[in-house]
Structure 1
Amino acid sequence: MLPSAYFAGLGTGAGLIVAIGAQNAFVLRQGLQRLHVGAVVLVCVLADVVLIALGVAGMGLAVKQQPGLLQLLRFVGAAFLAAYGLLAARRAWRGESGLRPADAAANGRGRTVLACLGFTLLNPHVYLDTVVLLGSLSTHYDGGGRWSFAAGAGTGSLLWFTALGYGARLLLPVFRSPAAWRVFDVLVAILMWGLAVVLLSQPMA
């Protein structure tokens, strides 16, 4: 393994993933609720690793040559984000606490995994960031260096989602208050709607 390529991948991958987005907000909420955190973290990390590997293997050009697919994902993803924003707004309006036992019963593992896949795979920017951008950057290295770069980027994903999902419990004293959940859900609703608008207003390159 080439250390310089590995750490370059780690830094670049972490920089792309840490940016606040719909997926991170979802992982944070699951971590605060302590519901299916392992499954959510695993889905996020595996998705990133697979997409990064595809990019390093040379699939970036193929993605760029499919503007129709990216446009479809753009509209479907915007609708998905808008709908989730409505759900968050409804929770905020009702003043629902995310720590209520009823929430745990309503959100099974399968439903949670499907929602996580939606946040991950219905965002066309995830393909541009992982497959296209990281795949292109990996070409700066020869041979095994490309896969060292990929391993570093995958490690960045693993570290971030593990910290976000399991570290969220440190905020539990704050979120024992229904008012804190109301504020959180208002911010989530605004974030989701804002991201939906961004998807619709910025055509894929």
Structure 2
Amino acid sequence: MFTVVIHALLLAFGLILPLGVQNVFVFNQGANQRTIKQALPVVVTASVCDTILILVAVVGVSAVVAAFSFFQTLIFGIGLLFLAYMGFVTWKSEPSKTSLKEGMTVKAQILFAASVSLLNPHALMDIMGVIGTNSLLYSGKEKWIFTLVTICVSWIWFLSLAFAGKAVGKMDSNGKIMIWVNKVSACMIWGVALYMAKSMFFQ
């Protein structure tokens, strides 16, 4: 049982720690919203999306998805376009002004969080492929403990990111740090998009 928990913890943290699009968005919302409570919609949405994907992966749908190359190509294509757009929005965003306008609305937070969670091909492949595949090592009670631990890691991580963003936001009253964070984040997002394009067209 202990081995299952350690395996799930290491795997989940290994997949979620890299500063990807989803993490950047949660962090930025934590920084740009006036209170942590106002950033909860993005935290909950990202966590729920990850929970759904993990559950889907564990029950074996990942094997079905992997069997259809067209579906994978479609996901990558949609994700590529979305990441390009997300990079543009992030580059243009001005945190100092956003904070004065109460930040992103609840509806916008939910839509963007769901998009960066469900339209991010690398996140999909990580969860569906890696977690789904690793879950095959277990059965019965152990399999669901493995699943529960990976889900808990997502919830704890996204909440922690929002708090970290809020801490940075408080230190950055004039928004200058967050402007640079947004620029770097946008470049990272575009970098992921370019890597995806390379994977799609130059295999």
User: Shared fold (TM-score greater than 0.5)?
Assistant: yes
Instruction: Find the counterpart in structure 1 of residue 154 from structure 2.
Output: 157
Q: Give, in whole Å, the separation in 1 of the partners of 2:53 and 2:99.
A: 36
Count of residues in correspondence between the two structures: 199
- Identity rate, percent: 24
Where 1:177 maps in the other structure, the secondary structure is coil
Q: CA deviation at 1:102?
A: 2.3
Query: Letter of the aligned partner of 2:85 in structure 1?
Result: A
Where 1:97 maps in the other structure, the secondary structure is helix
Per-residue CA distance 1:74-111 (angstroms, 9 max, x = gap): 122111111122223223xxx6525532253xx32111
Q: CA deviation at 1:13?
A: 0.9
Q: Give, in whole Å, the separation in 2 of the partners of 1:100 and 1:142.
A: 48
Find out whether 1:59 has 2:41 as its counterpart. no
Q: In 2 relative to 1, CA 178–127 (structure 1 residues): closer, same or farther, beyond 3 Å?
A: closer
Report the TM-score, using the length of structure 1 for normalisation.
Answer: 0.88
Find out whether 1:23 has 2:22 as its counterpart. yes
> Structure 2 regions of 5+ residues with no counterpart?
none
Q: CA deviation at 1:31?
A: 0.4
Per-residue CA distance 1:90-143 (angstroms, 9 max, x = gap): 23xxx6525532253xx3211111111110111122222112211111111232
Find out whether 1:123 has 2:120 as its counterpart. yes
Q: Give, in whole Å, the separation in 2 of the partners of 1:127 and 1:96.
A: 29
Q: In 2 relative to 1, CA 83–100 (structure 1 residues): closer, same or farther, beyond 3 Å?
A: same
Query: Letter of the aligned partner of 2:200 in structure 1?
Result: P
Q: Give, in whole Å, the separation in 1 of the partners of 2:178 and 2:102.
A: 13
Q: Give, in whole Å, the separation in 1 of the partners of 2:163 and 2:176.
A: 22
> Structure 1 regions of 5+ residues with no counterpart?
none
Q: In 2 relative to 1, CA 20–98 (structure 1 residues): closer, same or farther, beyond 3 Å?
A: farther
Report the TM-score, using the length of structure 2 for normalisation.
Answer: 0.89
RMSD: 2.1
1:45 to 36, 44, 47: 47
Q: Give, in whole Å, the separation in 1 of the partners of 2:182 and 2:163.
A: 20
Query: Letter of the aligned partner of 1:50 in structure 2?
Result: I
More displaced stretch, 144-153 vs 24-33: 144-153
Query: Letter of the aligned partner of 1:23 in structure 2?
Result: Q
Per-residue CA distance 1:15-47 (angstroms, 9 max, x = gap): 101111011000000000126321111111111
Instruction: Find the counterpart in structure 1 of residue 82 from structure 2.
Output: 80
More displaced stretch, 132-141 vs 3-12: 3-12
Instruction: Find the counterpart in structure 2 of residue 184 from structure 1.
Output: 181
Instruction: Find the counterpart in structure 1 of residue 169 from structure 2.
Output: 172
Instruction: Find the counterpart in structure 2 of residue 203 from structure 1.
Output: 200
Q: CA deviation at 1:148?
A: 1.0
CA contact (8 A) 1:11 1:153 kept: no
CA contact (8 A) 1:97 1:177 kept: yes
Q: Give, in whole Å, the separation in 1 of the partners of 2:23 and 2:69.
A: 26
Q: Give, in whole Å, the separation in 1 of the partners of 2:73 and 2:4.
A: 33
CA contact (8 A) 2:73 2:200 kept: yes
Q: Give, in whole Å, the separation in 2 of the partners of 1:113 and 1:23.
A: 12
Q: Give, in whole Å, the separation in 1 of the partners of 2:95 and 2:22.
A: 21
Q: Give, in whole Å, the separation in 2 of the partners of 1:113 and 1:186.
A: 22
